[in-house]
Every structure is written in C-alpha cells, then in structure tokens.
Structure 1
Amino acid sequence: MRKQSIIRVYILLALFFFLGLVFKRKRKENDLNVPAFDVSFGDEFGNGMGPREFSYDQLATATKNFTDEEKLGEGGFGAVYKGFMRDSNTNVAVKRSSSRSEQGIKEYASEVKIISQLRHKNLVKLIGWSHEKELLLAYEFMPSGSLDSHLFNGRSLLPSEIRYKIVHGLASALFYLHEEGDFCVLHRDIKASNIMLDSTFNAKLGDFGLARLVDHEKGSQTTTLAGTRGYIAPECHRTGKASKESDVYSFGIVALEIACGRRSIERRYDEDQASLVDWVWKAHGDQMLLVVVDKKLSTNFNVKEMECLLLVGLWCAHPSPNMRPSIRQAIQVLNFEASLPNLPNKMPTPSYDDIPNTSIIQTSELGSLSITIPR
C-alpha cells in the first residue's frame, strides 16, 4: 500500500514537471508576440509616417517563401532576401533573424525602435517589420549591394571619385547620429558590410541591431563588448565602453579600407602588412603614403583627395580616443575647409585616459552641416 502511494507521488511530480516544461516553452514562444512588445513600438508606428507592421505571409510571399534564389547574403544575424511588395510595387530587402534567443530579440527590438526614429538620406530606410512567426525586418532595397562586395569581392571597381563620395555619405550619416538628434545614437558596428549602396552609389548605413541611444552630455555607454573584429576601437577591449570616439575609430578603419581596397586585418600578408592601420601609418612615416592606395586604381585617382582620405582615416583610427577628431572635424578636413591633421611619423602607443568633456559637442552648438564633394 505504501509502495503504491509512493508511486502516485512520483507520477504527480512527473506530471507537474511535464506541465511546467510545457508552460515554460509556451511562454517562450509567446514572448515573440507579447503585448508589451507591441506597446513598446506602438506610438512610433501609429502615425502612418514610419515603418508598418507586415504579416508573416506578406513577407514570405514577397520573398517567394525565402527561396535561395532570392537570398542576397547571410551573416551572423541570419539571411537577407530580396522581396517584391505588390501593393506598393517596390523591391525590399527582408532580414530574417536566425535567433529567437533573448539576445536575438533584444537586437531585433533595438533595431526597430532606433531606426524607426531616424530620417536621413544616408541611412537605410526601414520599411516594416513582423514578429508574428519569425523576427523579420523589411528595408528599402539597395541595388548596388554592400560596400564590401565591391571592395573585397570584385563586384565592380569603384572609381576614386565614387570612393570619396561614399566616405562623405558615411560621415554625413555618422554626424547625424552623433549630433543632430534629441539623443546621440552610438552605432557600434560600422563596417564595410553594413554600408549599402543605391543605384548611383550613394552610401547608406544600416544594421542598427547593436546601436544604443545615449544622452549627448554622456556621450558613452558602458556595456559588453560589441562590434566586429578589426573595426573595434582598442579601448573598447579594455573598458567595454562604447562612445562617439569608438564609432569614429570604426569610421576611420572603413575610410582606410576604401582607400586601400583591402580589409583591416589580412593574415595572408606579411606581418608588417597584416594590420591595415599599422601598414598605412608606416607608409606615412616613410613619406610614401600613396604606395598603399588600391593597386586596382593604378594611377587613376586624385592625389590630393586620396592623401586627405588616408590621413583622415589614420586620424580617426588613432590608438588613443582623446586624440581622434569629432566626426564634424573629420568632415571639415574632407571638405578641405580645414588643414590636414599633423600626425606623428610613428604610430603612437595607445593612451586610455578619460576622454575630456570638451570632446562631447552639445547638440545646441551645432547648426546644419552641408557636405560638398570637391571636384
């Protein structure tokens, strides 16, 4: 009799355990559709001016059920597919998240909330979103693809004037994010693959999954290390602190990649050329700066512009954050409205002193900044 009672207890415990697992799994699935998730987006999308909510079926139909034939690319976040929206007669790029983890949902929510508040010609426009069955984001379609596909994968040879135009566009986007809004937006993942190009090769910065909003007065945020190897500012490895200066560092790396036509880290090169920053800085110290220019350009480039681009790239990628320019200062040099930076011949040893408050420019101090491309 006692044995039967013990068996009943074990059966009940097993039943409760099973029901607990079912409930937990159900709750995790419902997290993709919790009302709070919608509330956190609601007002931003209710005015009809911003992105719209799509059903899963709408985006699946647009991409032919996410067929491989429509796949534009794939990264750590998941895959991107080309889609066609019949109701608006437009092409879109649909990002399909590969993760339903807490971190994946957090990045998805961050991207929707932040980019929906941004309006700038050099930012990829968010068309809509869906988290009905999967985490999906629909963006304006960029016919010329990503910058890295041209620089590193041979999609086309970008002429030097187009490269300079792309750097200006990226700088304009970063100035808007850092200085022109109610909050400073730290992108935290500026890199060639996150820079998209439209049909006339205008640059548009995308992928705001790692972006964070901070007060202009603070200008930085302590967090876990984020970004992509080769583009992360050296002080971030030590402090985990993202800042305007760390975004500027990533911008500098991209500027050097555009000028040199190679990635920031290339193991196939000799040790003295494996790091792009080290290699360019050595060429600068040897008074042979232009030797690093992309060989595919031959001599078909504007020497003045290319020298400016390389020096601004080094300045922005300075090892010490308090020696980097603001993005506004970088733009003034790129526009030839200010003199070229006076950089030491040898790359300095990093200094991680606190960034002075003077490096944080208040929004009220800035007017609109026009960006002209020298001919």
Structure 2
Amino acid sequence: MVYEFMPNGSLDAHLFGKKPRLAWGVRCKVTLGIASALLYLHEEWEQCVVHRDIKASNVMLDSNFNAKLGDFGLARLMDHELGPQTTGLAGTFGYMAPEYISTGRASKESDVYSFGVVMLEIVTGRKSVDPRQGRVEPETSLVERVWDLYGKGEVITVVDEKLRINDGFDEKQAECLMVVGLWRAHPDRNSRPSIKQAIQVLNLEAPLPRLPIKMPVATYRVSSSSTGTSVVSSGGAATATFSSAQLGR
C-alpha cells in the first residue's frame, strides 16, 4: 500500500515529543481538521465508520499542517441507524470511553469521547495517561483535572504555558475548545454532542454548552456474565472492573 507522505509527522510528536510546539492557530486548524474527518466517517459516507483508536499519535500532519486521521486497523463499519455494536475491547486506555471499556460496544459516541480527550491534549499540552503508570488513574486523569478547574472557573489556567507567549493566542478561543473537549468527553454517552453539533459550537454558530460543575462519573460492577461489566449507577467515584476476555487474556 502507498500512503501520502506526512512530512510534519504526528500530532503526538509535536505535543509531547521533540518536534517544535505548534502555534495556537495551527492547533485550532488541526482540531477542526480532525472534526471534519470524523464528520465524514460518522455521517457523510454510505456507512458509519467507527475508528475505535482516535489519539494524538494517529493524527498525521502534512506539509501545511492539515490533519489526516490514520491507522484504521481497528475501525468497524456500521449501519447509520444502528446503535452501539459489540466489537470487543480494543484501542488505547486514556482515550477509551467508560461505557466502551465496560461493555466492549463501540459507537460514534465512543469515538467522540476519544476526540474530546485529544482536544484537551491539544490545548493543555498534557497527556491523558501518566507514562510512569502506564494506565489511566481516574483520580488524576486529564479529563477530571480539567473538569475540576472548569467547575472552579479556572479552566484557562491549564492551557499549555508555551501558548501564552504566542502572538496569536486567543484565551476565549482556548476556553471554548476545552469546554467542547469536556462536552465530548462527558462520562454519559447520551450527553455527548454529535460531531456536527460540536463543529457548530467551534465555528461560533451555536452557544457553548453549560456543563455540570462536578464531573458526572459512571460506576460499574461485574455482571453475572463472564464477558464484561454492567453499568449500575452514575455519580460518585469511578470504579470499573474488566474481565480477562476484555483485556485480551
């Protein structure tokens, strides 16, 4: 197979690696580029394509810093009218929606969650997963940290410090991107926007959503089935137990 050469590498390399940090305008451009790609995959093709592994390292940048969503090895085709489909758990922890981890059922909403996490990484310059732990720690996850600051009215304080010295940095725009990122990463899949709704807010064609001051968190328990877990309530601390089948053991 022959792929288009991406001279600027991955988004991950610019956010967390040795490549030059992206200017604010470029980060906004990349965000909208990913959103456009997901809009096509979810709504504009003859079938819905659920990517299942949206993360910064799977976003490639061409010579003009146009974003290209890559690595469709885990993607699944689904009919537009169908809801979440059982596909088995696959993807990258830190970007996976809680209900997908719980049930193994992928959906457009689980892709939206992953993109919400990537948006927060783009604005904050921080990873969703602690590399020292190698796994997601719910009490210190990027989504929860940003949501906590949102509730205190201090969300702008978590913006990547290198952006503040950029002439093109727009504080209001940064706040908008983080709120939309939190909206997309809402723990309740039914409270997440569609890609089209989120794009309308980013383009200032719709108002910012009013999110809860405290992040709603789903709580899970092991079901009677050996294949997964089931949702029992929402609120309180997040606890999720994964079966051996879900973890690929």
Tell me which of the two structures has the higher relative contact order, counting C-alpha pairs closer than 8 angstroms and 6 or more residues apart. 2
Q: 1:272·1:279 contact (CA, 8 Å) conserved in 2?
A: no
Give the secondary-structure state (helix, strand or coil) at the position aligned to 1:287.
coil
Match of residue 177, structure 2, among 309, 316, 319: 309
CA offset at residue 309 of structure 1?
0.3
What is the CA–CA distance in structure 1 between the aligned matches of 2:67 and 2:123, rounded to whole Å?
Answer: 15
Give the secondary-structure state (helix, strand or coil) at the position aligned to 2:3.
strand
CA offset at residue 273 of structure 1?
7.7
Query: Which one-letter code corresponds to 2:19 in the other structure?
Result: R
For 1:287-302, list aligned pairs within 5 A: 287-300=153-166, 301-302=169-170
Q: Identity rate of aligned residues, in percent? A: 62
CA offset at residue 344 of structure 1?
0.9
CA offset at residue 350 of structure 1?
2.1
Query: Which one-letter code corresponds to 2:13 in the other structure?
Result: S
What is the CA–CA distance in structure 1 between the aligned matches of 2:84 and 2:47, rounded to whole Å?
Answer: 12
Q: 1:166·1:203 contact (CA, 8 Å) conserved in 2?
A: yes
Please list every run of 5 or more consecutive structure 1 residues that lacks an aligned counterpart in the other structure. 1-128, 130-137, 354-375
Does 1:239 pair with 2:109?
A: no
What is the CA–CA distance in structure 1 between the aligned matches of 2:203 and 2:142, rounded to whole Å?
Answer: 24
- Which portions of structure 1, spanning 4 or more consecutive aligned residues, are displaced by more than 4 angstroms? none
Q: Which residue of 2 aligns with 1:335?
A: 203
Q: Which residue of 2 aligns with 1:185?
A: 49
CA offset at residue 144 of structure 1?
0.3
What is the CA–CA distance in structure 1 between the aligned matches of 2:170 and 2:217, rounded to whole Å?
Answer: 32
What is the CA–CA distance in structure 1 between the aligned matches of 2:13 and 2:196, rounded to whole Å?
Answer: 28
CA offset at residue 185 of structure 1?
0.3
Give the secondary-structure state (helix, strand or coil) at the position aligned to 1:196.
strand
TM-score by length of 1: 0.56
What is the CA–CA distance in structure 2 between the aligned matches of 1:244 and 1:150, rounded to whole Å?
Answer: 27
What is the CA–CA distance in structure 2 between the aligned matches of 1:145 and 1:273, rounded to whole Å?
Answer: 32
CA offset at residue 219 of structure 1?
3.8
What is the CA–CA distance in structure 1 between the aligned matches of 2:149 and 2:160, rounded to whole Å?
Answer: 14
CA deviation map 1:262-296 (0-9, x unaligned): 11122669x89831001100110111111110112
For 1:136-147, list aligned pairs within 5 A: 138-147=2-11
What is the CA–CA distance in structure 2 between the aligned matches of 1:169 and 1:292, rounded to whole Å?
Answer: 23
The alignment covers a number of residue pairs equal to 216
CA offset at residue 157 of structure 1?
1.4
Query: Which one-letter code corresponds to 2:185 in the other structure?
Result: A
Query: Which one-letter code corresponds to 2:146 in the other structure?
Result: V
What is the CA–CA distance in structure 1 between the aligned matches of 2:73 and 2:138, rounded to whole Å?
Answer: 34
Q: Which residue of 1 aligns with 2:226?
A: none
Does 1:199 pair with 2:63?
A: yes
What is the CA–CA distance in structure 2 between the aligned matches of 1:224 and 1:185, rounded to whole Å?
Answer: 16
Give the secondary-structure state (helix, strand or coil) at the position aligned to 1:252.
helix
What is the CA–CA distance in structure 2 between the aligned matches of 1:180 and 1:255, rounded to whole Å?
Answer: 22
Distance verdict in 2 for CA 1:273–1:349, change over 3 Å: closer
* TM-align CA RMSD: 1.8
Match of residue 253, structure 1, among 112, 117, 124: 117
Q: 1:184·1:219 contact (CA, 8 Å) conserved in 2?
A: no
CA offset at residue 233 of structure 1?
0.4
Match of residue 223, structure 1, among 87, 103, 110: 87
Does 1:155 pair with 2:23?
A: no
Give the secondary-structure state (helix, strand or coil) at the position aligned to 1:139.
coil
Match of residue 141, structure 2, among 275, 284, 305: 275
CA deviation map 1:235-280 (0-9, x unaligned): 01111000000000001000000000011122669x8983100110
CA deviation map 1:107-126 (0-9, x unaligned): xxxxxxxxxxxxxxxxxxxx
For 1:76-225, list aligned pairs within 5 A: 129=1, 138-225=2-89
**Structure whose CA Rg is larger:** 1
Q: Which residue of 2 aligns with 1:124?
A: none
Give the secondary-structure state (helix, strand or coil) at the position aligned to 1:298.
helix
Does 1:285 pair with 2:151?
A: yes
What is the CA–CA distance in structure 1 between the aligned matches of 2:18 and 2:156, rounded to whole Å?
Answer: 22
Q: 1:225·1:240 contact (CA, 8 Å) conserved in 2?
A: yes
Q: 1:231·1:264 contact (CA, 8 Å) conserved in 2?
A: yes
What is the CA–CA distance in structure 1 between the aligned matches of 2:102 and 2:122, rounded to whole Å?
Answer: 28
CA offset at residue 214 of structure 1?
0.4
Query: Which one-letter code corresponds to 2:189 in the other structure?
Result: P
TM-score by length of 2: 0.83
CA deviation map 1:115-152 (0-9, x unaligned): xxxxxxxxxxxxxx3xxxxxxxx211100000000000
Q: 1:194·1:206 contact (CA, 8 Å) conserved in 2?
A: yes
